[in-house]
């Protein structure tokens, strides 16, 4: 109750006052205040995870919804392959090793309808009210602190001497706070953790648990941060992070999807079409413009026998929520996925490169391929998996995604 009664902006003020106090280690009043705030965040985190367990238990009992995946294995353990589970691209999951250095992001300096008005269902924002409580009526779970099939927003309180950009030491301290709260064994990949001590602007202080460590958001394409490439988007419901990881502008978040397993279907459905869209004028008005787009689709079908579809991930990705640390396609993606690319030759070439092997190989000049380093090859391979989810067009059973090219980068490669 102490934690939810404090306004979000007040946490950062307490932390700033503490950091500016001379001999703060000897100031008993400041130390007592910080310790009480840390205890409040630990309690809040335990309550949210308790609510998740209750919501999933009620969903299983009533059959009203699909529960989230089971708890991920203990941090740092090797991952045995799961041979009995079908794979999206028929590549077994290898054992992995984890290192913190690879988890740190760079510092921020079917038929297609053109008139889809459906959007993702809204998710309540992070509510802070003394009356925040669980309401269960008629077997339906309801709480302002957690919504089923949405990412929980957990809290820690770690004052950061470096300001909004947390250092490695601050991130490690955030992990220790989760340990002190006694919830490390309850965390799952995709859980969002907010260091309340650094503020509440945009995604400041927000990190994501990858199954082993807390990792930063990615600032390559957004000034407020997007989900990092270490989390396979297909493993979570399409709206799992909606409003928990905030987006700017049109609200279409970055996602990381390897569409190569469906390359033949994408090649067969590829079309060049005219599309109408709203464009903003310098004066703030809007007008309709016509553009050309390359558009295709593929279908993610529920596997026969009820076994989940397996996702093969890079070696530096942490353990997934499935048995043995495997990653599976979330049922929220079952259905049609519409893929859009720019209606230019470059846009077509980019889409074809993402569909490895489905189109005739393009002839590249020796100058373009002779000096290709392994690092650049890996970077280009990662770029082929970057899309945006088009929320304004998407609806249950039909998710729209759009290719993201190097032109949209804010940080150099």
The 3-state DSSP composition of the chain as helix, strand, coil percent (nearest 5) reads 30, 20, 55
Tokens in use for 162?
């470096």
Q: Report, as an integer, the average pLDDT of 183-206.
A: 94
Query: What is the enclosing helix (H) or strand (E) of 51?
Result: helix 28-62
Reported pTM: 0.78
Query: What is the enclosing helix (H) or strand (E) of 293?
Result: strand 286-300
pLDDT digits (tens, 9 = 90+) for 1-24: 888 888 988 999 999 988 888 776
Q: What angle do CA 222, 227, 233 make, to 5 degrees?
A: 130
Measuring CA to CA, which residue among 128, 115, 286 is closest to residue 196? 128
Tally of CA atoms within 13 A in the half-sphere of 84 that contains its CB: 6
Using only C-alpha atoms, the chain has a radius of gyration, in whole angstroms, of 23
Which pLDDT belongs to residue 237? 95
- The count of other CB atoms within 10 Å of the CB of residue 91 is 13
- 306: pLDDT confidence band, cut at 50, 70 and 90? confident
Percent of the chain's residues with pLDDT above 90: 50
Alpha helices in 88-227, H assignment, sequence order: 168-180
Indicate whether 297 pLDDT > 90: yes
Query: What is the enclosing helix (H) or strand (E) of 336?
Result: strand 335-342
Can you tell me the distance from the alpha carbon of 64 to that of 49, in angstroms, rounded to the nearest whole number?
20
Indicate whether 131 pLDDT > 90: no
Which pLDDT belongs to residue 90? 39
pLDDT digits (tens, 9 = 90+) for 64-101: 544 444 444 333 333 333 334 444 443 333 334 444 44
In sequence order, what DSSP letters do the residues of 386-411 get, joined into one string?
A: EEEE-TTT-BTTEEEEEE--GGG-SS
The answer to whether 309 and 328 have CB atoms below 8 angstroms apart is: yes
Can you tell me the distance from the alpha carbon of 322 to that of 303, in angstroms, rounded to the nearest whole number?
16
Tell me the torsion sign for CA atoms 338, 342, 346, 348: positive
Which pLDDT belongs to residue 146? 93
Strands (E), 210-261: 214-216, 254-256
171 Cβ contact list (under 8 Å, min separation 6):
207, 213, 214, 216
């Amino acid at each position: 109750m102490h934690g939810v009664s404090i306004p979000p902006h007040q946490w950062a003020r307490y932390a700033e006052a503490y950091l500016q106090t001379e001999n703060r280690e000897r100031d008993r009043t400041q130390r007592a205040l910080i310790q009480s705030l840390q205890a409040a965040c630990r309690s809040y985190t335990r309550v949210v995870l308790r609510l998740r367990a209750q919501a999933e238990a009620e969903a299983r009992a009533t059959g009203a919804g699909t529960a989230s995946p089971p708890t991920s294995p203990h941090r740092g353990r090797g991952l045995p392959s799961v041979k009995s589970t079908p794979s999206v691209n028929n590549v077994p999951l290898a054992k992995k090793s984890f290192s913190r250095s690879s988890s740190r992001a760079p510092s921020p300096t079917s038929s297609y309808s053109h008139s889809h008005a459906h959007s993702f269902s809204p998710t309540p924002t992070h509510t802070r009210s003394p009356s925040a409580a669980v309401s269960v009526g008629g077997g339906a779970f309801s709480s302002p602190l957690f919504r089923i099939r949405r990412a929980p927003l957990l809290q820690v309180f770690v004052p950061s001497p470096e300001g909004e950009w947390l250092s490695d030491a601050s991130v490690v301290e955030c992990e220790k706070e989760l340990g002190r709260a006694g919830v490390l064994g309850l965390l799952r990949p995709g859980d969002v953790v907010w260091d309340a001590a650094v503020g509440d602007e945009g995604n400041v202080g927000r990190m994501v648990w990858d199954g082993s460590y807390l990792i930063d958001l990615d600032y390559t394409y957004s000034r407020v941060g997007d989900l990092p490439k270490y989390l396979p988007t297909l493993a979570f419901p399409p709206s799992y992070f909606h409003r928990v990881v905030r987006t700017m502008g049109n609200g279409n978040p970055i996602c990381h999807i390897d569409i190569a397993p469906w390359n033949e279907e994408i090649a067969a459905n590829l079309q060049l079409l005219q599309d109408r869209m709203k464009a903003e004028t310098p004066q703030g008005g809007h007008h309709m413009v016509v553009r050309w787009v390359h558009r295709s689709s593929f279908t993610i079908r529920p596997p026969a026998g009820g076994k989940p579809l397996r996702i093969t991930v890079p070696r530096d990705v942490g353990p997934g929520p499935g048995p043995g640390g495997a990653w599976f396609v979330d049922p929220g993606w079952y259905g049609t996925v519409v893929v859009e690319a720019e209606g230019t030759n470059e846009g077509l070439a980019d889409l074809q490169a993402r569909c490895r092997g489905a189109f005739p190989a393009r002839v590249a000049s020796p100058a373009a391929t002779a000096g290709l380093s392994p690092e650049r090859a890996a970077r280009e391979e990662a770029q082929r998996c970057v899309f945006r989810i088009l929320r304004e067009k998407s609806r249950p059973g039909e998710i729209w995604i759009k290719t993201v090219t190097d032109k949209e980068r804010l940080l150099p490669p």
